[in-house]
Amino acid sequence: MKDMDSSEPVEQQPTRSPAEWTTFSIALLIVAVIVGLVVYKWLTQKNQPPVISITPSSEIREAPGQFYVPFEIENTGGETAESVQVIAELRIDGEVEESGEQQIDFLASGETEKGAFVFSRDPRKGELVIRVASYKLP
């Protein structure tokens, strides 16, 4: 009977150097941190609908015959909003004298966009209402 172990040479795997172990450990740590952050984000972020808030600026820019009212809109909810409709109404003596409308195509969670409404009458001489009228989910 022939012994198979003695007839074939046994290959020894080379031992890893300390530099290889260090590199492997650092790469493993980076992958573990990334996976941990993804899992943490997934667990803590609830599937909340968009929560959209709008803040008009108190600084109204005046150009010949026009008044620019800047605003900032932010989605603090969990999901993305599409086709966000923003409406501005300028009321003087209780009557809507001018109105404007803007469409923001895409507003992701945590995203902020800026824009401006343009009026021919001075918004400081009346009541300015800027609001979000609608949005749709993607």
Per-residue pLDDT at 6 exceeds 70: no
Band of pLDDT at residue 3, cut at 50, 70 and 90: low
Q: Is the pLDDT of residue 106 over 80?
A: yes
Q: How many CA atoms lie less than 13 Å away from 62 in the CB half-sphere?
A: 6
**Tens digit of each residue's pLDDT (9 = 90 or more) over 49-99:** 899 999 988 889 999 889 999 999 999 888 889 999 999 999 988 899 999
> Taking Cα atoms as reference points, which of 82, 76, 68 lies closest to residue 115?
68
CB-CB contact of 117 with 65 (8 Å): no
Predicted pLDDT at 107: 92
- Give the list of residues 6+ apart from residue 65 with CB closer than 8 angstroms, or none: 120
C-alpha 52/C-alpha 3 separation (Å) is: 78
CATH H-level, domain 52-136: superfamily: Immunoglobulins (2.60.40.10)
- Of 96, 76, 80, 77, the closest CA to residue 88 belongs to 96
